Amino acid sequence: MEYILMHRTKEIARIELDEFSNIASIYEVYDSKHLPVGTVQKEVVNKRALAKWWSGRSIPASRQGLKEALQELGMTVSQELLDKCYGLSLSDQYWILPKGERITWEAINFFDHSFSEDVGNLLFGHGSASTSMSLVSPDNTSDGQLMKKWKIADGKRILMKGSSKPYYQEALCEVIASRIASRLGINHVEYSVVWENEEPFSLCEDFITRDTELISASHIMNAFKKPNNLSEYEYYIQCAEKLGVVNIRKEVEKMIVLDFIIANEDRHFNNFGLVRNAVTLEWIGAAPIFDCGTSLWYNTQESRIKPLAPSLQGKPFKKTHAEQIHLVKDFSWIDLSALDGFEEEADAIFAQSEYLSDARRNILVNAIRERINLIGELI
């Protein structure tokens, strides 16, 4: 079936989707400047890159609860959900307009209009599919492995995300990371915790608005050709600077420091990036830091928690945090006294959970202090 790929109100390209909502053909490009970042090479749209970008909007196959939800819906793959919501997202302003239909972005976007929680509830294992349920949902285009869904509270778009066995710790880690970032003056997304069915879920407000969008580091790095003599770190900095983003090195260094303190195991090129104005295409700056749940030894047995180990896994620029922290050249912005007494705050957050023993809480709280002290030795 034919569609027009749209960017808010702009027509971008005429495309064909197959029965599984994959891009099968690109018939015509109307506005190459508004094509997704990283899909244009030498001023020509790359079909494979655009198809990968589009399929990347779908829920990953590894998502908790996805298999069961698809079975309920009578679907085979999550891509089949994309066209059901016109490809709309709460992270950017792209969508698809079915050929011959008169629909406007102003009339259907999720920033200005309410949306069904049917898909989100199904992904959470609640309810069952029915002919009356609505599939027009931003949950169709959410990424990540953990159970999550979008909801509206007091007019705000809120992302609710779960945790994993055995410690159900990720939601608490999100809160602790945001509290550390707040104390250090690092731009970040604020998180809180809510309990449902005796499990913790993190809550955060969407930092994207109807006029902005998040562009991942992965897509930014695909927009240019990487010189062989540049590391991925320097290449990302160079890409952002080419786009006109100022102070990007300082912002990335702050992310590296925060990830070092919390021993983040999964900072990858799709969970940090830049924010741009979707109307003017002006680059606004680094996105606030988000998605820090896979940290603080969230799934590690107590006996294996070694906060001072130089082999602690680091991402995305180096294999270990011990190596990656040396990419930071300027520590002058850090006031570690702002973290005095943080142990008590962290312990109070961990104490909310019955899944964390007193012994585990003590080990984690002491580990945070030891990581903070390591930063102090570098300053």
| Average of per-residue pLDDT across 87-101 | 97
Mean pLDDT of 173-189: 99
Beta carbons within 8 Å of 258's beta carbon, 6+ residues apart: 177, 180, 181, 184, 186, 188, 264, 289, 292
pLDDT above 90: residue 309: yes
Which residue pairs, CB below 8 angstroms and at least 24 apart, start in 361-370?
363/302, 363/305, 364/296, 364/297, 364/305, 366/307, 367/263, 367/296, 367/297, 367/305, 367/307, 368/176, 368/261, 368/262, 368/296, 368/307, 368/342, 368/343, 369/342, 369/343, 370/307, 370/308
Name the pLDDT band for 250 (thresholds 50, 70, 90).
Answer: very high
pLDDT band for position 205 (50/70/90)?
very high
d(Cα 315, Cα 326) in Å, to the nearest integer? 13
Other CB atoms within a 10 A radius of the CB of residue 207 amount to: 18
Average pLDDT for 61-83: 93
Element (H, E) at 178: helix 170-184
- Please give the pLDDT value at position 128: 82
Number of other residues whose CB lies within 10 A of the CB of residue 339: 22
- Give the rounded percent of residues in the chain with a pLDDT score beyond 70: 100
Quick one: which of 185, 129, 197, 132 has its CA closest to 160? 197
- CB count within 10 Å of CB 39 equals 23
- Separation in Å, CA 16 to CA 2, 21, 136, 141: 4, 9, 20, 19
Question: Which pTM was predicted?
Answer: 0.96
pLDDT recorded at residue 159: 99
The answer to whether residue 371 scores a pLDDT higher than 90 is yes
Rounded CA gap, 339 and 315, in Å? 24
Q: What is the pLDDT of residue 140?
A: 97
List pLDDT tens digits, range 97-112. 999 999 999 999 999 9
Mean pLDDT of the chain: 97
Residue 280 three-state SS: coil
Distance, in Å, from the CA atom of 24 to the CA atom of 17, rounded to the nearest integer, reads 5
| pLDDT confidence band for 127 (50 / 70 / 90) | confident
**Looking at residue 42, what is its pLDDT?**
81
Question: What is the pLDDT at residue 284?
Answer: 98
Domain 212-378: top CATH class: mainly alpha
Span 40-64, pLDDT tens digits: 988 899 999 999 999 999 999 999 9
pLDDT of residue 43: 84
Question: Quick one: pLDDT band at residue 242, thresholds 50, 70, 90?
Answer: very high
Helix (H, G, I), strand (E, B) or coil at 372: helix
pLDDT at 95 over 90: yes
The first and second tokens of residue 247, run together, are 């102070």
As a residue count, the chain comes to 379
The domains of the chain are located at 2-150, 212-378
Query: Which residue is listed with tokens 């006294």?
Result: 337
**pLDDT tens, 329-368?**
999 999 999 999 999 999 999 999 999 999 999 999 999 9
What percent of the chain lies above the pLDDT cut of 90? 96
Average pLDDT over residues 61-80: 93
